[in-house]
Amino acid sequence: GAVVSQHPSWVICKSGTSVKIECRSLDFQATTMFWYRQFPKQSLMLMATSNEGSKATYEQGVEKDKFLINHASLTLSTLTVTSAHPEDSSFYICSARVKNGRGRARISTDTQYFGPGTRLTVL
Amino acid sequence: AQTVTQSQPEMSVQEAETVTLSCTYDTSESDYYLFWYKQPPSRQMILVIRQEAYKQQNATENRFSVNFQKAAKSFSLKISDSQLGDAAMYFCAYRRGWNAGNMLTFGGGTRLMVKP
């Protein structure tokens, strides 16, 4: 299958600092990566969509200067939470769309594959 | 805008029994995909099953099947022979069109508990 990793899996930081979260597609190239936010006992809310080499598209209400997304390659996207505050504490999940699944068993270009998530706690 | 509604915040089922999770959606599109994702305590999102709107036949995947009622905009998930490992949050999701680069819209989720 298609594996997506996230690093770190859990981070604790002080208020005012910046935190970078990495999302990697390990065994495939991703045309598009998505960043979601999930509060406790709630559903996933899409924050932004990013395509390799272009600027991310942010959902309404998401501050692009607060949540910086860089999609430098077909296997890596990063989300940087700048000047983090306690209200930014959440679970952040990325997903990726496969660029080319030809010849790959149980892998589809028609599906988003999710990373395991990153828990951010801002003190 | 598309919306996805899961009216059951929590459900419970006895091990080996069958349970059905409900999902309704609202869209004016004719081409779309519907998904059920499972999120166990590990928080890893796992695709359970998907349905293309143009297909009349209900999707099945081992013990998991859907009842897709396009006119009613209903997309329920049936889990047969429930197992303890099925305990998780289940999210129904909608995606407009054939392009997997389109965003997913998730429902609020249903927590499924499986009793031994």
Q: Is A16 left (phi over 0), alpha (psi -120 to 50) or beta?
A: left
The number of angstroms, rounded, from the C-alpha of B75 to the middle of its chain's C-alpha atoms is 7
pLDDT computed for residue B22 by the predictor: 98
What is d(CA A31, CA A73) in angstroms, rounded to the nearest whole number? 9
What is d(CA B96, CA B114) in angstroms, rounded to the nearest whole number? 32
pLDDT computed for residue A2 by the predictor: 81
Q: Does residue A62 register a pLDDT over 80?
A: yes
Give exposure, B16-35, as e/b (b: 16+ Cβ within 10 Å).
Answer: eeebebbbbbebeeeebbbb
Q: pLDDT-based confidence at A101, cuts 50/70/90?
A: low
pLDDT computed for residue B52 by the predictor: 92
| For residues B76-96, average pLDDT | 97
* Residues of A whose CB is below 8 A from B44: 114, 116-117
- Compare CB distances from A44 to B47, B100, B106 and report the shortest one's residue: B106
B interface test, pick of A6, A114, A120 with most B CB neighbours within 10 Å: A114
Q: Establish if A42 touches chain B: CB-CB under 8 angstroms.
A: yes
Q: Which residue has the tokens 């407009």?
A: B96
What is d(CA A91, CA A101) in angstroms, rounded to the nearest whole number? 29
| For residues A34-48, average pLDDT | 93
Q: Does residue A28 register a pLDDT over 90?
A: no
A interface test, pick of B103, B105, B110, B111 with most A CB neighbours within 10 Å: B103
Q: Does residue A67 register a pLDDT over 60?
A: yes
What would you report as the CA-atom Rg of chain A, rounded to the nearest whole angstrom? Answer: 14
As given in the structure block, the two tokens for residue A2 are 């298609």
pLDDT computed for residue A97 by the predictor: 86
- Looking at every residue in chain B, the average pLDDT score rounds to 94
pLDDT computed for residue A23 by the predictor: 96
Q: How many CA atoms lie within 13 A of B7 on its CB side?
A: 8
Q: Which residues of B touch A (CB under 8 A)?
A: 33, 37, 42-47, 50, 91, 98, 100-101, 103-109
Query: A116 and B42 in contact by Cβ < 8 A?
Result: yes
Q: Does residue A99 register a pLDDT over 80?
A: no
Residue B46 in contact with residue B39, Cβ under 8 Å?
Answer: yes
**Which residue has better confidence, B3 or A53?**
B3
By mean pLDDT, which of A71-80, B13-22, B78-87 is the weakest? A71-80
What is d(CA A93, CA A47) in angstroms, rounded to the nearest whole number? 10
Q: What is the pLDDT of residues A104-118, one digit of tens each?
A: 556 666 678 999 999
Q: B72, B12, B80, B8: which is closest to B48 by C-alpha? A: B80
As given in the structure block, the two tokens for residue A88 are 């930014």
What is d(CA B60, CA B64) in angstroms, rounded to the nearest whole number? 6
What is d(CA A94, CA A106) in angstroms, rounded to the nearest whole number? 20
- Residue type for A15, please? S
Query: B103 and A109 in contact by Cβ < 8 A?
Result: no
| For residues B61-85, average pLDDT | 97
Q: Does residue B105 register a pLDDT over 60?
A: yes
Beta-strand pair A10-13/B24-26: unpaired
Residue A29 has phi, psi (to 5 degrees) of -95, 140
Q: What is the largest CA-CA distance in chain B?
A: 42
